[in-house]
Chain A
Amino acid sequence: MAALIWIPLILPLSLALVSSLRQRSSWTLWLPVSAAGVLLGVGVGLILAVGSDGPLTTGAGLLRVDALSAWMLTVVGAVAVVALWGGIPHRTGRSRNIGTFATLLCLFLAAMTLAVVADNIGLMWVAIELTTITTAFLVGSRGGHGALEAAWKYVVLGSMGVAIAFLGIVLISAASRTSGEPSLSWVVLLAHAGGLDPSLVRAGAALAVLGFGTKAGLAPTHSWLPDAHSQAPATVSGLMSGVLLSVAFYAILRVQAIADAAVGPELMRGVLVTAGLLSLAVTAGLVITQKDFKRLLAYSSIEHMGLLALGAAAGGPLAIAAVLLHMLGHGLVKSSMFVLAGRILGFTGSHQIADVRNLLRRRPDLGGPFLLGAAALLGFPPFVTFFTEVAIIVAGFQRGLGWQMGLACALLLVVFAGIARHSLGMTVGAQPDLDAARTSPAPPDQPARFRQVPIVLALGASAVVGFAAWPLTGPLIAAVAALGGVR
């Protein structure tokens, strides 16, 4: 069964090779979609395999899939299918670089897969840095001043952040020297956590979380995120917001498990609560006056990462299970929203919220899902985000984070007001519809229904999963247990 782990690593690499050879063929854009589909299938297969046989190890112990890794693979696959399928443009052929675009997307998928299946935290770091490298040109691929500025900030801040994380990993490796041979294997570090040098682990874990937090878009090192996510093409924004942030957060969870076992949960709890509340505060401060709808979605991602940080800080089975489920729910919704934002941009030709009005009447195929997706991002029932947000907050109150969660609720209300106001303004115009004359159905060359499939699937899944979570209960409990379980 361990051979399964190699499929999502090798397949995207070979598809990347194929698409790099066929630069002008627009069908190459389907290759990353198929890679993502296989990734999803392998993720589900690994969840079942790990459930029956326990963790799988391969590649001389460098690669290991436990229940958490299998869950993350499934999340990456599911979100990537939505973002990549939904993002396929209905007219191609103008660009000469389609093959390069598809190649980089395939490599990006392979890098994220490597990050979640690596047992060695050094290798996990290498993979996360590779995600920056593969997305650098994707962020800047639209061209223009803004895209160039965003790409520069993204690469410099992203690499600087993960360089700090690398310093943290180096210190954790040095901390393991006291218990014999230095090791970076996550399993070995967790098993010998009691023997690690406490002061080195403290410094190392704090730096690693700060560094990976940069990549996960947590405040105060979030400044690259709104720029990169607003300038990148819709597919890339959807992938980055929907799943790359979660993969970086997964690294934080792994480091947190080691630090908690070695020096107790107080350190990580302090760091994560601070980062979480700061992220919520940054979002609350900037969504109300936001003018650009892609930036609005980017800030919403910072908010959701802040919630994940609060959940991880609370700890315990309820909060961690909610964090993992929230990664799936938020990923599905956010990738759909970025895909829709890309289509709205194509329709109106403007990034500005003020230029988009009455979308429900002018383009119901865009306005309807956009409004539903915004409701899901705001945490309305029946969407799964409602259940996970409530679970994170309840778990926080239960585990002694009372005033922090109170403050978080207040900040969430502000964010709610800001996002609700803007998304309602974009979809249900209050004034008589001056643009009614321009209202037209989807252009005839556009296979509209087919393009709606991933959006409908994603929003539908996130609406149903909250109630019909029973198939996910087992994998989620196993994933929480894999992380060290009850702290």
Chain B
Amino acid sequence: MSSELYQQLLATTTGLLLLTAVLQVWGRSTVRAIGLLVIQGTALAGLVLTVGVQAGEAAAPLVAGLLFVVKALVMPWVMLRSARLIGVTRERSARLRPAVELIGAAGLTLLAYAVSGPILGDTTDPATRAVPVGVSLVLLGFWQLLIRGSAITQLVGFLMLDNGIAAISSLTSGGLPLVVELGATLDVLLVVLILGALVVRMQAEEGHIDISELRELHD
């Protein structure tokens, strides 16, 4: 792969990751949020493939394929199925206005670039230079977990956080050992399945999926 093509592919995939994360922040449709996750999962698989092929790793297509299947197909499908089962495709309420959410997201993206600086040092490696995108995804995932009340949107936030970590892993160390990648992907898939099942149970038992309404346990 020529250096120019590599840089272009890197820019495209990381750009898509960041764009889908920011778009995630406003909008109340869960179907749209899950659709964005599909794009984000595809971009992540593309990023892993690009970095892996450039580094000459034999397992890269395998890991990228696995990520694509799990993150862009299986997980969104599971979430969509949960959402359809309970018949909730829009969030009921919002804690913040969309404008405030967006400003917060922009601030977090800036923060991601600020905190990544000392970690990056003065590297010139184009992959490592893109690490702030991964950090942005992590922070935006947290942001979504914090400000959103709906269980499904919280799940989307969790997956964004996880995508961010996978992106950082791929950009900094060229990926982890295969067994760890497999184990980690399987773990996250199981967490999504469990949370999907809990969402369905929550709707059946409580009649809503609003996390902020769960206030029985406290001191």
Residues of chain A at the chain B interface (Cβ within 8 Å): 62, 120, 122-123, 125-126, 129-130, 132-133, 136-137, 140, 145-146, 148-153, 155-156, 159-160, 163, 166-167, 170-171, 173-174, 176-177, 182, 184, 199-200, 203, 226-227, 230-231, 286, 289-290, 295
Contact = CB atoms under 8 A, between A and B. Distances in A.
A230 B216 CA distance: 12
B121 interface: yes
A129 B186 CA distance: 10
A145 B191 contact: no
A171 B145 contact: no
Interface in B201-219: 201-202, 205-206, 211, 214, 216-217, 219
Nearest to A150: B217
B89 interface: no
Contacts of A146: 216-217
Given A126-B184, A155-B194, A160 B145 contact: yes
B198 A177 contact: no
A289 B218 CA distance: 12
A152 B202 contact: yes
B137 to A, nearest CB: 11
19 contacts: A120-B180, A122-B177, A123-B183, A129-B184, A132-B191, A148-B198, A148-B214, A150-B217, A151-B198, A153-B217, A155-B198, A156-B195, A160-B158, A160-B161, A167-B168, A170-B173, A174-B172, A177-B173, A199-B119
A148 B180 contact: no
Contacts of A123: 179-180, 183
Interface string B102-123: 0000000000000000110100
A155 B118 CA distance: 32
Interface of B: 118-119, 121, 138, 142, 145, 151, 154, 158, 161-162, 165, 168-169, 172-174, 176-177, 179-180, 183-184, 186-188, 190-191, 194-195, 198, 201-202, 205-206, 211, 214, 216-217, 219
- Per DSSP, are chain A's interface residues mostly helix, strand or loop, or mixed? helix
A176 B172 CA distance: 11
Given A126-B184, A148-B206, A173-B173, 15 more contacts: A122-B176, A122-B177, A123-B180, A125-B180, A126-B180, A130-B187, A136-B194, A149-B216, A152-B198, A156-B195, A163-B158, A171-B172, A176-B173, A199-B121, A231-B217
B214 A149 contact: yes
The 3 closest A-B pairs by CB, nearest first: A122-B180, A126-B183, A174-B172
